[in-house]
Amino acid sequence: MGQCGITSSKTVLVFLNLIFWGAAGILCYVGAYVFITYDDYDHFFEDVYTLIPAVVIIAVGALLFIIGLIGCCATIRESRCRLATFVIILLLVFVTEVVVVVLGYIYRAKVENEVDRSIQKVYKTYNGTNPDAASQAIDYVQRQLHCCGIHNYSDWENTDWFKETKNQSVPLSCCRETASNCNGSLANPSDLYTEGCEALVVKKLQEIMMHVIWAALAFAAIQLLGMLCACIVLCRRSRDPAYELLITGGTYA
């Protein structure tokens, strides 16, 4: 009975180590996705610390590869020292993932204020004639999110670009995909996106941060199970004589 319980715990532990390798890849992917997506919107927020959760989650993903290797070696070789090291590292990573979740919620709440402060500046400096990186970012966001202006297309009337061009039109990126022959003229508002970009940018960035939070929570739960199984193996190794027989291949007299 003791041998069956030990073997079962070890099997689960080996399986979890394989999951750790898969989790490592997923976490690195999520972190990279956050970086790539945030790069498209980096002109709309100034606080670079918003990316800290993504940085940490990539580091955790890389560490999980090593943890999986240590865990497999410790389980297969029945090393008490390695199992103990495995549990300690898992505990540290678990704490790190809890920190990622907390930071994720903190920066998710700060996104709205960050975007509100930055988007005004970006729209004010828009130059459709000789577009710089910020101007290209505006056109990109308006096309991707199907929006126009900060709150709606009428916001363009307050920009320097609109006043300088004097043609009563907004950028072509405000034109609906279904509108044919759209030139951005305010005389044809039905051809333009009516929703403002600020709310949509905030929603997009908050959704991205939620990906990080859910990923960290999911794998923190898996790590708890891993620590539990490792602790069971460690405890039975110390207390159950059958465990020593299982290692040495001996039998009861």
Asked whether residue 83 is assigned to any structural domain, the reply reads: no
The predicted pLDDT at position 149 comes to 92
CA angle, corner 42, sides to 39 and 45, nearest 5? 150
How many domains is the chain built from?
Answer: 1
Asked whether residue 186 is assigned to any structural domain, the reply reads: yes
Domain assignment of residue 219, given as a range: 103-223
Q: State the CATH number of the domain containing residue 156.
A: 1.10.1450.10
Can you spell out the DSSP letters for 157-200?
Answer: GGSHHHHHH-SSB--GGGB-TT-TT---BTT-GGGB--S-HHHH
Asked whether residue 94 is assigned to any structural domain, the reply reads: no
Return all residues near 206 (Cβ < 8 A) that are at least 6 apart: 108, 111, 112
Can you spell out the DSSP letters for 72-114?
Answer: HHHHHHT-HHHHHHHHHHHHHHHHHHHHHHHHHHHHHHHHHHH
Asked whether residue 120 is assigned to any structural domain, the reply reads: yes
Asked whether residue 191 is assigned to any structural domain, the reply reads: yes
Residue the block writes with tokens 């998710």: 108
Asked whether residue 41 is assigned to any structural domain, the reply reads: no
The predicted pLDDT at position 49 comes to 66
All residue ranges of the chain with pLDDT < 70 are 1-17, 46-50, 70-80, 82, 233-234, 236-253
Asked whether residue 206 is assigned to any structural domain, the reply reads: yes
The predicted pLDDT at position 251 comes to 43
Asked whether residue 47 is assigned to any structural domain, the reply reads: no
Q: What is the pLDDT of residues 151-187, one digit of tens each?
A: 999 999 988 888 888 888 899 999 998 888 888 888 8
